[in-house]
Amino acid sequence: MNEELNLKQLIEWYITAGVEETAGEVPFAPPPAAEVKATPVRSMAAPRPSESGRQVTTALAQATIDAGKNARELCKTIDNLDELKALVEKFDGCSLKFTASNTVFGDGSQTARVVFIGEAPGADEDRIGRPFVGRSGQLLDKMLAAVGLDRSLCYITNVLPWRPPGNRTPTDSEIAVCLPFLKRQIDIINPDYLFVLGGSAANALLDQQESISRLRGRWLDYKNSAGKNIQVLASFHPAYLLRNPGQKAKVWVDLLRLAKKMSEDGAAGREE
Ligand code: URA
């Protein structure tokens, strides 16, 4: 294996492990791939892959981490979805990008009154490059149609624009790096409602740790970067419903609550 490949793999392993800073030059070897866990780690000693590569490795790891922290700054300069999409596609600060086949940016109406937010693309989404097009997406489409919501009038996106390998749970640092992209999408679309699918996405967006069973079924608040309050409902993720069809009725109730509020508050779409 050449050294360049070694360094890239090492850095990807750091990011996968959630390392956010390096400290010193303590010898350290990454475990075999099968043992790599996605547990977030806040700080970890720097590795020594080889004498010549050591400083380069440390610098590259730190540069990658810093690039992630820059996402928020980069987003501030963007005020339309096409440019934001191009920015995300160019962004190299999240290692998930290197294992994904496609960047899965949000999709749907740019003037949507409601934004649906999932956790991360799955295998079908990664292959096709659009959010919620696999089995979970088909179930979501059916549920939206059942409460009279037209998917094409909604905007659908994820906390992460890249599929975590094997659909593993995203790490805290992957979420932290990518969250500005989601928040900027919300700022640009400026919806009145957010409907969050699953506990992981809800906790990421609302910055709390409540279980989805406790969060669902009541209106919550999210403030966009301009300070506007957006009403939020969180509910179970369609993938969870595919495994636990007995829970579908609860999501049905939550979607009905959303549809009712939208029709009480006004028309189902906004003019540009
Ligand atoms: N699950 C998600 O959270 N998002 C998708 O886009 C697909 C499945």
What b/e sequence results for 53-80 when a residue is b if at least 16 CB atoms lie within 10 Å of its CB, and e otherwise?
A: beeebbebbbebbeebeebbebbeebee
Question: Which of the pair, 60 or 126, is modelled with greater confidence?
Answer: 126
116, 136, 140, 251: residue to mutate for ligand 1 pocket, most atoms within 8 A of CB: 136
| Non-local CB neighbours of 197 within 8 Å, separated by 6+ positions | 116, 117, 118, 119, 140, 234, 235, 236, 237, 238
Percent of the chain scored above 90 by pLDDT?
71
Cβ atoms within 10 Å, residue 227: 6
Under the banding of pLDDT at 50, 70 and 90, the label for residue 266 is: confident
CA distance 167 to 165: 5
Q: Calculate how far, in angstroms, residue 200's C-alpha sits from the geometric centre of ligand 1.
A: 11
Q: Hey, is 64 helix, strand or coil?
A: helix
Q: Calculate how far, in angstroms, residue 239's C-alpha sits from the geometric centre of ligand 1.
A: 8
* pLDDT greater than 90 at residue 272: no
Q: Hey, is 55 helix, strand or coil?
A: helix
Output the pTM of the full model: 0.77
Query: What length is written for the chain?
Result: 272
What is the CB < 6 Å shell around ligand 1? Answer: 118-122, 125, 131-132, 134, 136-137, 158, 239
Atom of ligand 1 nearest to the CA of 197: 3
Is the Cβ–Cβ distance between 181 and 86 less than 8 Å? no
Average pLDDT over residues 16-41: 42
For residue 63, the model assigns a pLDDT of 54
Percent of the chain scored above 70 by pLDDT?
73
Find the helix packing angle between 199-206 and 172-189, rounded to 10°: 70
115, 116, 117, 119: residue to mutate for ligand 1 pocket, most atoms within 8 A of CB: 119
Atom of ligand 1 nearest to the CA of 131: 6
237, 241, 242, 251: residue to mutate for ligand 1 pocket, most atoms within 8 A of CB: 237
Under the banding of pLDDT at 50, 70 and 90, the label for residue 239 is: very high
Q: Hey, is 79 helix, strand or coil?
A: coil
DSSP-derived letter for residue 2 is: -
Average pLDDT over residues 41-49: 45
Average pLDDT over residues 101-128: 98
* pLDDT greater than 90 at residue 21: no
Helical ranges in the chain per DSSP H: 3-17, 54-69, 71-76, 81-90, 96-99, 123-128, 135-146, 172-189, 199-206, 212-215, 238-243, 248-265
Structure tokens of 43? 């700080």
pLDDT in tens, 78-102: 999 999 999 999 999 999 999 999 9
Atom of ligand 1 nearest to the CA of 132: 6
